[in-house]
């Protein structure tokens, strides 16, 4: 009974069906299909918001920090607003005697301006920032970065104010007999123009940065996201003009809303899914491999990898209780997470590391847990001289706090004889975690 969304046919839905028959319009009542769709999408956005909370909690973790956590969090919030607007304008919930019957606040400001347009603008801002850094050698800050975004937002504000002033019959109005909000054809054209323009900019900038450094390269993810979004935009545009009363058709309105939020989630999870998973499951190892990739790209000085989470995670490898793992003369990770030698000189290059492996100093790689004995130790193992005091061999294991850290094992001279060293090294190699 009443004007509520229910699994059964309510009085208000029966009245809508009778009015639609008089107007010679096909109308599918709101019911269980709409409720099931609302529940599924709500659960998806609950997971998204939990992921955003985890992202913001670990926002200083370098592999996540480079994904612009604040912008990606705002993208999810805009998607949630788009969902709220879709419930009204796509006809999923009753509007009569509720605040939703005011079409302009929800149909224009919430759904269009703060929802789909702001979401598109935030994505364009993020891609434009990467374009400035890698194609124009400009920083990810300042008026040069934010002026295009602020100009677009100003245009959205002007558009919203004008829409609020203009007569509803020229923008969006409430059709009381069938209880839906209806966009006029001309007004829909202007809305689609803004959204298409924003995504053409995103696609163009994504193409321009397709060959940037590997640590920041998202060409595959951007391609998947752009293809999905353009397919959904094309479907929605065609459907709005070929079936303007789609909100009265259960299949069309559910498809339209589901595709909208499929596109937003495909984009967000294609960018953030793997970094979030690796941060959750393999935090220290993922940081080490990410820093190695950054070093291979030659970006360790241009970008401050020594700040935030990097210094904490890398410093944890050289705590007092684990100090024997890295001798002072070989502590090329300082407490700030920057590659350097014992005298504080610039970080070791790959060629220098290779030379160091052949020197008389024992070497431990804290990222991959590989211990390399010195030349004297290798010679002692060959001749069977047990008078030389041996450092512990290193392999990976779990401590009581379930963090993956280097764990010592007793050094056995016989086990490391020349004939068995190769097989033992292969057997003690850490398991892959990717």
Contact 2, 12 (CB under 8 A): yes
Quickly state the pLDDT bin for 98 (edges 50, 70, 90). confident
85/192 same-domain check: yes
For position 135, what pLDDT does the model report?
85
Q: What three-state secondary structure class fits 405?
A: strand
Percentage of residues in the chain having pLDDT higher than 90: 40
For position 297, what pLDDT does the model report?
66
Quickly state the pLDDT bin for 97 (edges 50, 70, 90). confident
Percentage of residues in the chain having pLDDT higher than 70: 67
Quickly state the pLDDT bin for 302 (edges 50, 70, 90). low
236/322 same-domain check: no
Does residue 168 belong to any structural domain of this protein?
A: yes
User: Which 3-state string (H, E, C) describes 223-266?
Assistant: HHHHHHHHHHHHHHHHHHHHCCCHHHCHHHHHHHHHHHHHHHHH
Whole domain around residue 399: which residue ranges? 311-427
pLDDT digits (tens, 9 = 90+) for 330-386: 333 333 334 444 454 444 444 444 444 444 444 444 444 444 454 555 454 444 444
For position 58, what pLDDT does the model report?
94
Q: What three-state secondary structure class fits 220?
A: helix
Is residue 125's pLDDT more than 70? yes
Does residue 432 belong to any structural domain of this protein?
A: no
403/261 same-domain check: no
Is residue 252's pLDDT more than 60? yes
Is residue 329's pLDDT more than 70? no
- In this prediction, residues 59-66 reach a mean pLDDT of 89
Which of 107 and 427 is assigned the larger pLDDT?
107
206/329 same-domain check: no
Is residue 274's pLDDT more than 50? yes
User: Which 3-state string (H, E, C) describes 343-402?
Assistant: CCCECCCHHHHHHHHCCCCCEEECCCCEEECCHHHHHHHHHCCCCCCCCCEEEEEECCCC
Q: 283-296 vs 250-281: helix axis angle to the nearest 10?
A: 90
DSSP string for 3-29: S---SS--HHHHHHHHHHHHTT---PP
Quickly state the pLDDT bin for 71 (edges 50, 70, 90). very high
276/235 same-domain check: yes
- In this prediction, residues 3-15 reach a mean pLDDT of 81
For position 86, what pLDDT does the model report?
94
For position 174, what pLDDT does the model report?
92
Tell me the two tokens of residue 26. Answer: 């096909």
262/347 same-domain check: no
Does residue 292 belong to any structural domain of this protein?
A: no
350/237 same-domain check: no
For position 362, what pLDDT does the model report?
45
234/91 same-domain check: yes
Chosen domain end from 236, 259, 281? 281
Is residue 122's pLDDT more than 80? yes
- Find which of 42-51, 220-229, 315-324 is predicted with most confidence, using mean pLDDT: 42-51
Q: What's the residue count for the chain?
A: 434
Q: How far apart (Å, rounded) are the C-alpha atoms in residues 285 and 308? A: 16
For position 323, what pLDDT does the model report?
34
pLDDT digits (tens, 9 = 90+) for 25-51: 889 999 899 999 999 999 999 999 999
Does residue 43 belong to any structural domain of this protein?
A: yes
Is residue 4's pLDDT more than 90? no
Does residue 298 belong to any structural domain of this protein?
A: no
275/375 same-domain check: no
Quickly state the pLDDT bin for 328 (edges 50, 70, 90). very low
Dihedral angle sign, alpha carbons of residues 161, 166, 172, 178: positive
Quickly state the pLDDT bin for 5 (edges 50, 70, 90). confident
- Among the residue ranges 146-150, 171-175, 228-232, 343-347, the one predicted with the least confidence is 343-347
pLDDT digits (tens, 9 = 90+) for 82-94: 999 999 999 999 9
332/389 same-domain check: yes
CATH for 210: 1.20.1070
Does residue 229 belong to any structural domain of this protein?
A: yes
Is residue 236's pLDDT more than 80? yes
Tell me the two tokens of residue 36. Answer: 């099931």
326/255 same-domain check: no
User: Which residues is 364 bridged to in the sheet?
Assistant: 371
Does residue 305 belong to any structural domain of this protein?
A: no
Q: In total, how many domains does the chain have?
A: 2
- Record the pTM: 0.69
Residue with the two structure tokens 């398991």: 431
Contact 259, 232 (CB under 8 A): yes
Does residue 286 belong to any structural domain of this protein?
A: no
111/242 same-domain check: yes
């Amino acid at each position: 009974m009443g004007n509520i969304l229910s699994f059964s046919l309510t009085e208000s839905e029966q009245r809508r069906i009778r009015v639609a028959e008089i107007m010679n319009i096909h109308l599918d009542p709101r019911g269980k299909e709409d409720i099931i769709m609302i529940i599924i999408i709500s659960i998806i956005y609950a997971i998204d918001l939990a992921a955003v909370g985890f992202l913001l909690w670990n926002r200083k973790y370098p592999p996540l920090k480079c994904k612009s956590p604040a912008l990606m969090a705002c993208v999810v919030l805009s998607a949630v607003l788009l969902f709220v607007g879709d419930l009204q304008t796509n006809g999923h919930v009753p509007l009569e005697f509720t605040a939703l019957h005011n079409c302009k606040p929800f149909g224009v400001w919430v759904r269009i301006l703060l929802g789909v347009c702001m979401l598109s603008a935030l994505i364009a801002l993020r891609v434009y920032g990467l374009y400035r850094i890698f194609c124009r050698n400009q920083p990810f800050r300042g008026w040069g970065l934010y002026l295009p975004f602020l100009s677009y937002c100003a245009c959205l504000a002007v558009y919203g104010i004008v829409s609020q002033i203009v007569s509803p019959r020229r923008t969006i109005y409430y059709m009381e007999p069938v209880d839906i909000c209806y966009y006029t054809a001309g007004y829909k054209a202007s809305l689609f123009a803004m959204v298409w323009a924003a995504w053409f900019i995103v696609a163009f900038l994504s193409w321009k940065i397709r060959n940037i450094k590997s640590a920041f390269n998202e060409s595959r993810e951007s391609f998947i996201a752009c293809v999905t979004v353009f397919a959904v935009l094309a479907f929605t545009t065609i459907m709005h003009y070929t079936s303007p009363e789609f909100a009265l058709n259960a299949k069309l309105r559910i498809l339209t809303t589901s595709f909208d939020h499929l596109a937003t989630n495909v984009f967000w999870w294609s960018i953030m899914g793997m970094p979030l998973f690796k941060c959750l499951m393999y935090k220290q190892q993922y940081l080490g491999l990410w820093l190695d990739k950054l070093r291979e790209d030659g970006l360790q000085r241009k970008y401050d990898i020594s700040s935030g989470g990097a210094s904490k995670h890398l410093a944890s490898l050289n705590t007092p209780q684990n100090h024997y793992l890295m001798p002072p003369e070989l502590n090329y990770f300082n407490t700030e997470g920057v590659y350097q030698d014992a005298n504080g000189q610039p970080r070791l290059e790959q060629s220098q590391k290779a030379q160091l492996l052949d020197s008389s100093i024992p070497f431990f790689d804290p990222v991959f847990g590989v211990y390399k004995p010195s030349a004297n130790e290798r010679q002692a193992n060959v001749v069977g001289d047990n008078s030389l005091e041996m450092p512990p061999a290193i392999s990976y294991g779990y401590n009581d706090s379930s963090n993956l850290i280097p764990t010592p094992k007793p050094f056995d001279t016989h086990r490391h004889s020349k004939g068995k060293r190769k097989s033992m090294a292969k057997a003690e190699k850490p398991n892959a975690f990717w």
